[in-house]
Amino acid sequence: MFAFRMKGIHLAKFTHFATILFALTLLSGCATTGNKSTRSSLDSLHTTSNVLLMPVDVELSVLTAGGELEPRADWTESAKDYMNNAFIEHQRTRNSRLISYHSPDDADPLSGQLAEIERLHGVVGQSILLHEFIQGYKLPSKEEFNWTLGPKVQALKETNENADYALFVFVRDSYSSSGRVAMQIAAAILGVSLQGGLQVGFASLVDLNSGEIVWFNRMFSGTGDLRTQESATQTVAYLLKGLPE
């Protein structure tokens, strides 16, 4: 059993992510997506919808020979830049305006509240992954797709150019170390499959008037890479597949 770690925290303690990772390893190595939505188009009081792009919650890691994930800060920072570039480019073809998120100063009373909203999205998103997309985990109370981040998200609307929606993105990407690759080869010779690096993530579009998650897409790939602009652009295209306009 591998000890998946993220930011130094064992994933078994981080909501349902360990269960999600295990379930996703059963899928094929190619990129797969799946989305759910409550709207076919976006509502707005403006000529075009204003979509607030929240800071991308992304982390890149090395998968060691022993199966632990060691975060790489340099890869992560580059991936953030590549992904933000891809979001801007993608939005140019859409009938909406992308607004970059401006974080308030630490002294601002809203600072802690907005940070809490970002963390909440990660937790709620993982619950959606588990209960909407993993077979056998469907909640009886969730026959319809009705998830929310709550009314507190209205604070984002007030502090970011009166945005209509917020786009949240969560991605975890890992790459096999040379030691891990050697173990995979040795295991294959013995007829045993040993998991390599994975790319898993999700994106949510949230109505800032109600807090309702109006669209959610999950993405999984055994071959994705966020360490180059070209590959990051492809990952963003997968994440935003089916995003309503």
Sequence-distant (6+) residues with CB within 8 A of 191 are none
Q: Closest Cα to residue 36, out of 144, 124, 121?
A: 144
Three-state SS at 166: strand
pLDDT tens digit sequence for 154-209: 888 877 877 899 999 999 988 877 777 676 677 677 776 666 668 888 999 999 99
Q: What is the average per-residue pLDDT within 19-32?
A: 57
Three-state SS at 10: strand
Give yes or no for a contact between 216 and 202, defined as CB atoms under 8 angstroms apart.
Answer: yes
Q: Closest Cα to residue 84, out of 169, 210, 151, 16?
A: 169
Mean pLDDT of the chain: 80
- Rg, Å, the chain Cα set: 18
Q: DSSP per residue over 25-65, as a string?
A: TTS-SS-EEEEEES-SS---SSSSEEEEEPPPEEEEEEE-T
**Which segment of 11-20, 52-61, 157-166, 196-205 scores lowest on mean pLDDT?**
11-20
* Cα end-to-end span (Å), the chain: 43
Query: What's the number of CA atoms in the CB half-sphere (13 Å) around residue 178?
Result: 0
Q: Record the pTM.
A: 0.81
Which helix (H) or strand (E) segment holds residue 155: the answer is: helix 154-159
pLDDT tens digit sequence for 100-129: 887 777 777 777 777 888 889 989 998 898
The band of 2, judged by pLDDT with boundaries at 50, 70 and 90, is very low
